[in-house]
Structure 1
Amino acid sequence: MKKFFLYGSLVIIAAIFVMMIIAPKSETVQRSITIEEPVDVVYPYFASLQNMEDYAVWQALDPNTIHEYRGAGNSVGSVHAWKSEHEQVGVGEQEIIAMIPNKEIISELRFKEPFESTSTAFLKFEENGNQTKVIWGYEASYGALESLFMMFLDMDKLLGPDFEKGLAKAKEIIEE
């Protein structure tokens, strides 16, 4: 019986170790939409962190969310911090870390509650005449233990629909 327990334990540990090795260490989720406006109209809207309150799905989950803005709100170094009791909103902040005018906005997302993590969000813009394709996405890197846990979560199914709804809302606002 002791041998069975020992061998069984070794098999389980080996299986976990192998899963940690093969589990993806990074993940990207993104969605896109075409907005019937030129990029010089679309880009400034998304560059303003304050506008996220109008189109991001998570903002609508808790109308009592406390928002704080530091910096200009539309330039590198600008920060949008939030605090909510809602478990899907939690506590965190987003800082713009890079901008290429009319091309890309990159932000660092720092979640504090209900769990701590850091990831990257991006908005990319592709102009086509008087239309602009907007790509909104999320990139995360995982350590060995995190990657094991993330094997069982489909972030594309979790975040993708929220990006789609947010982009549709932004399109509606910008095209009005």
Structure 2
Amino acid sequence: MLTYLVIAVLALVAGVLIAAARKPDIFEVSRSATIRATPERIFALLADFQEWGAWSPYEKKDPAMKRSFKGATSGVGAVYAFDGNKQVGTGELAIIEVQAPKKLAVTLDMTRPMACSNLITFTLAPSEGGTLVTWHMQGACPFMGKLMGTIFNMDRMVGGDFDKGLADLKQAAERPKLVAAAA
């Protein structure tokens, strides 16, 4: 009986390892939403790191997160460093490509809870009813990432954050701009 149990456990472990090894070497997570605002209005919220507080779900996961900017807060070369709780982690975002108001590319280099480098892109396209915004992230998926991916669904975990962020971006972009009264 014990022998059968050991064989069953080993077979299960082998199955999980084989399933992990067969996963792609790149992971991708993508979510889209239509926002009733111009691409220019939305792009302004995406392309300036100081505006991320209005919509980024990670800003809300740790209001006490330490934030710092290197250089300008927008444009190619802008860097946003963060150090937060276990839900946020520690890392840096850097803008590497700006095609206003159509595309923004940002690198995400995490050091905690685990080291990784990912590419994030935001694409904006006119659509019926507003602007279609797509938030996409991709990165290398080494064996340990593949193994974790057999247990935790990365698309569901990160995708939920993207859905929340896009909903908050929609709310921020669709909010009427306040115009200062002339004195």
Deviation at 1:21, TM superposition (A): 3.6
The 8 Å contact of residues 16 and 150 in structure 2, kept in 1 or not, is answered as no
CA deviation map 1:7-44 (0-9, x unaligned): 99x97897576445412211111111111112122212
Find the residue that maps to 2:151 and give its secondary structure: coil
Partner of 1:29: 29
Partner of 1:124: 123
Q: 1:18 to 1:39 in 2, by over 3 A?
A: same
Q: Compute the TM-score of the two structures, normalised by the length of structure 1.
A: 0.85
Partner of 1:4: none
Residue segments in structure 1 that go unaligned for 5+ positions in a row: 1-6
2-side partners of 1:27 and 1:117: how far apart? 12
Partner of 1:87: 86
- Whether 1:62 and 2:62 are equivalent positions in the alignment is yes
CA deviation map 1:99-121 (0-9, x unaligned): 22211111110111121111111
Percentage of pairs with the same residue? 26
2-side partners of 1:17 and 1:66: how far apart? 38
The 8 Å contact of residues 61 and 89 in structure 1, kept in 2 or not, is answered as yes
2-side partners of 1:169 and 1:161: how far apart? 12
Deviation at 1:148, TM superposition (A): 2.6
2-side partners of 1:34 and 1:17: how far apart? 39
- Whether 1:169 and 2:149 are equivalent positions in the alignment is no
2-side partners of 1:15 and 1:61: how far apart? 35
1-side partners of 2:46 and 2:142: how far apart? 31
Find the residue that maps to 2:162 and give its secondary structure: helix
Find the residue that maps to 1:133 and give its secondary structure: strand
Show structure 1 runs of 4+ deviating over 4 A. 10-17
1:8-157 matches, cutoff 5 A: 18-84=18-84, 86-128=85-127, 131-157=130-156
Which stretch of the first structure deviates more once superposed, 137-146 or 51-60?
137-146
Q: 1:49 to 1:13 in 2, by over 3 A?
A: same
Number of equivalent positions? 173
**C-alpha RMSD of the superposition:** 2.7
Deviation at 1:55, TM superposition (A): 0.9
The 8 Å contact of residues 81 and 91 in structure 2, kept in 1 or not, is answered as yes
